[in-house]
Amino acid sequence: MLVAATFIGAATLFTTGSVSAADGPLTLSPLLAEAEQDRIEAIERAMPSTVCVFVPGGGGGGSGVLISPDGYALTNFHVSSPAGNYMRCGLSDGNIYDAVIVGIDPVGDLALIRLLGRDDFPYATLADSQKANAGDWCMVIGNPFLLASNLQPTVTWGILSGVNRYQYPSGTLLEYADCLQTDASINPGNSGGPLYDAEGRLLGIVGRASFEKRGRVNVGVGYAISINQAKNFLGYLHSGRIVDHATLGATVATDEDGGVRVSNILESSDAYRRGLRYSAEIIEIDGRVVHTANDVQNVIATLPSGWRVKLVYRYEGDTVETLVRLMSVHGQDELLEKMAGAMPPPPPREAPKKDKDEEKQEEDDGDDAGPETAEGDVPAAVLAVYEERRGFANYFANQQQQNEFIESLRKQFPNGDAGHTVTWSIQGKTSKDEKVFIYVSDDRLSMVVGDTPIEPVTKSDLYESVEARSFAGAIPALDAWRRMLDKGPKKFGETIYWGTMPLAGERPLRDCVVGSDGEFEIRWLSHPENKQVECIEVFADRDEDPAELWIHRDSDDADAAPTRLEIRYGVDSIFEMTIDSWDVLENESSDDDDDNAKDAGKPAQQGQAEKQG
State whether residue 93 is helix, strand or coil. Answer: coil
Sign of the CA dihedral running 148, 153, 159, 160: positive
CA angle 334, 337, 338 (to 5 degrees): 85
Neighbours of 519 (CB within 10 A): 13
d(CA 122, CA 47): 9
Closest CA to 442 of 495, 489, 485, 496: 485
Contact status, residue 141 vs residue 50, Cβ threshold 8 Å:
yes
Q: What share of the chain is helix, strand, coil (3-state, %, to 5)?
A: 25, 35, 40
Clarify whether 545 is annotated catalytic. Answer: no
Neighbours of 264 (CB within 10 A): 10
- Which of 38, 98, 105, 109 is catalytic? The answer is 109
| Residue 303 CA from chain centroid, whole number | 10
- Which of 191, 465, 470, 526 is catalytic? The answer is 191
Burial classification of residue 259, based on how many CB atoms lie within 10 Å of its CB (0-12 exposed, 13-18 middle, 19 or more buried): middle
CA distance to 229, 401, 463, per residue, from 237 (Å): 12, 11, 32
d(CA 417, CA 186): 53
- Which of 63, 78, 197, 470 is catalytic? The answer is 78
Clarify whether 78 is annotated catalytic. Answer: yes
Non-local (6+) Cβ contacts of 579 within 8 A are 426, 427, 428, 561, 562, 563, 564, 565
Neighbours of 56 (CB within 10 A): 19
Which residues are designated catalytic? 78, 109, 191
